[in-house]
Structure 1
Amino acid sequence: MPILHNPITMQGQIDRCWLLTYRMPIDQFQTLLPAELTATEYQGFGFWNIVICHVSHMRPWFAPHSLGFNYWHVAYRIYVNLKTPYGIDQGLYFVRSDCDQPLLAWAGNLVTNFNFHHTPVIVKSSVEQTSISINSSVAAASVQINNQQPAQLASDSIFDNLEQAAAYLKYPPRGIALSKPGEANIVRIERDEAAWQHQLRHVEQADVQWLKTYPVQPEICYEIQPIAYRWLRGYRRKVLLNQH
């Protein structure tokens, strides 16, 4: 029997968080995804979602707040669909994660499908600007966000306006991976949807090494307000059909 990843419900607070979204022609995702998954499509494109977040007091659900740990987490995810006997599950497929705590990165690879790497993450923020540096030898990134300039829709965006883009690109609270061919491992996220508040931000510059080999174009960047999360224990779900 395959290992069940995410065997324990975890909880914590996301107290700083930015989400950068990029579109890419839908056919470019085929070599990146297991055969059972398809990229969520809109106007002939699929989407990358890069999260840069600080998690505080992460701990098993039964552990006291004081035993939680804090870390920066960066993850490269793809919006995906999974067809099951119960319908279509939408979620995020993790291609790579970076974490600034080496022990946590090691432990994360034992119990999750998130593909962790130990990587220093430096975030400097002021009223005017946020500067983010991800110091990886293979997935370095540098992002500059102007906190004063209003966000603008890219001139070549596939969306009609910022509101439409923000509504469509709000990621579904579910992580999806393949535990073995024909069987998925799914992690649902519990969050107070009424408390999930965001502000669109203007990205002045983003140099993302991991995406340089792909034909991506930026869409929008969210900054998420602090919010409590629970990453529920993973469960298996049979895949109904081979999607490709």
Structure 2
Amino acid sequence: MSPETLAALVALALEPLGLTERALTARLEDAGVAEPAALLRKLVASGWAQASRGAWVLTPSGHEALREAHAALERAQDPSPSSDGMEECPSVPWLTQVQTHWVEAVSINYAVDPDRLARLLPAPLEPEVFHGTAWVQVLMSSLRDMRPRGLMPLMGVCFYQVSYRAAVRYRNANGDWRRGGYFVRSETSDPVMRGVGNALKEFKFHEFGEARMVMAREGDLLTVGVDPEPAFPGGKLVGVFDTKARTQPPEGSVWTDLDALHEPLVECYDAFGVADGFVYVLTIDRAPWNARFATPVQWYCEYLQEGPLAPGARLDSVLHLNECAYQWRPLRRERYAR
């Protein structure tokens, strides 16, 4: 469908009682349509519009054409479209389609050795390399009112969570690449959320640990801390960040500005797991990250500085964001290339 045709359908759809030919022509000219009369003839020939009682209106076929165009636009803008052969496989649809808000979060971005990261990934996942290095983000967030869609916020759960998300990719059975994240480690402060998460197929690919956590603010300073339970060693974390918004990266970062790291580290909507010959894809539909660079005042991360990705893991930059709504899609899976 041409942009001119779409403009005409939208103009008519916005006026259910119809538009006079003069008013419709004026709107189309404002939209940049060079020959409105010819376009109207085309709409009539397609059966999408008609003149009725001195006004132009959409026909039922015109409404259907507009709905199909809208669906096509949604598919084109989808950051995680389904591949041929991909199927839905949610554990419990009403339970796993949840919604929540990030009240506040930090993303601590580490450049890591690709070979070291590759040892932590199940086949067919492989590190996605930018600027000659692989990447792991330590994402610590305060989540508010997590609940199945349709329930009131008062029915939700508020808790803290920290995840170590590696930027990865894989090739599916059709030969196409899909990029996303793989969680090499995660902890939550809520034992109930930990139990639910570990019981669901959506999260069986890595075990949620349990930890005492804190996120506390004093002015521009944000203090975060994670103290894992003894059963989940290696995840101590403590940091103080100056969250005064900065648009430029710190000295030594490989990224030139926020736009440069947007696609590699921010535009990441899929979390992957691998089992039974499939890659499972859990997609989050979320509001845009209103991220800005933050400055670490104090920082220690046991997993990156002393764990399986050390030595060589390098702190590159820190992002701070707040008030980001998101919800899950039903879990999907697809075969991968062998």
- Normalising by the smaller structure, the TM-score range is 0.7 to 0.9
Q: Normalized per residue, which structure has more helix?
A: 2
1:130 partner letter: L
Q: Relative to 1, partners in 2 of residues 1:218 and 1:152: Cα closer, same or farther, differing over 3 Å? A: farther
Distance 2:240 2:279 in 1: 36
Distance 2:189 2:165 in 1: 18
Aligned residue number for residue 171 of structure 2: 83
Aligned residue number for residue 124 of structure 1: 216
Give the counterpart of 1:202 among 291, 295, 298.
295
Distance 2:292 2:252 in 1: 21
- Give the Å deviation of 1:67: 1.0
SS in 2 for 1:105: helix
Distance 2:126 2:296 in 1: 29
1:51 partner letter: L
- Contact 1:13 1:55 (8 Å CA) reproduced: yes
Distance 1:150 1:65 in 2: 32
- Contact 2:246 2:292 (8 Å CA) reproduced: no
Task: Name the % identity.
Answer: 17
Aligned residue number for residue 54 of structure 1: 142
- Contact 1:81 1:89 (8 Å CA) reproduced: yes
Give the counterpart of 2:320 among 205, 223, 230.
223
What RMSD in Å do the two structures reach over aligned CA positions? 2.1
- 2:328 is the alignment partner of 1:239: no
Q: TM-score, normalised by structure 2?
A: 0.65
- Contact 2:245 2:292 (8 Å CA) reproduced: no
Distance 1:128 1:44 in 2: 34
Q: Relative to 1, partners in 2 of residues 1:36 and 1:92: Cα closer, same or farther, differing over 3 Å? A: same
SS in 1 for 2:261: helix
**Greater shift after overlay, 75-84 or 150-159?**
150-159
Q: TM-score, normalised by structure 1?
A: 0.88
Distance 1:89 1:146 in 2: 35
Structure with bigger RCO (C-alpha 8 Å, 6+ apart)? 1
Give the counterpart of 2:285 among 182, 186, 190.
190
Distance 2:90 2:111 in 1: 29
Q: Relative to 1, partners in 2 of residues 1:217 and 1:135: Cα closer, same or farther, differing over 3 Å? A: same
| 1:130-149 correspondence to structure 2 within 5 Å | 130-136=222-228, 137=230, 138=233, 139-148=235-244
Distance 1:143 1:5 in 2: 36
Structure 1: gaps of 5 or more residues? none
Q: Relative to 1, partners in 2 of residues 1:216 and 1:5: Cα closer, same or farther, differing over 3 Å? A: farther
Rg larger in 1 or in 2? 2
SS in 2 for 1:177: strand
Deviation per residue, 1:68-99 (Å, 9 max, x gap): 11110111110110211272111110111111
Structure 2: gaps of 5 or more residues? 1-88
Distance 1:207 1:152 in 2: 23
Aligned residue number for residue 15 of structure 1: 103
**Greater shift after overlay, 201-210 or 108-117?**
108-117
| 1:171-182 correspondence to structure 2 within 5 Å | 171-180=267-276, 182=277
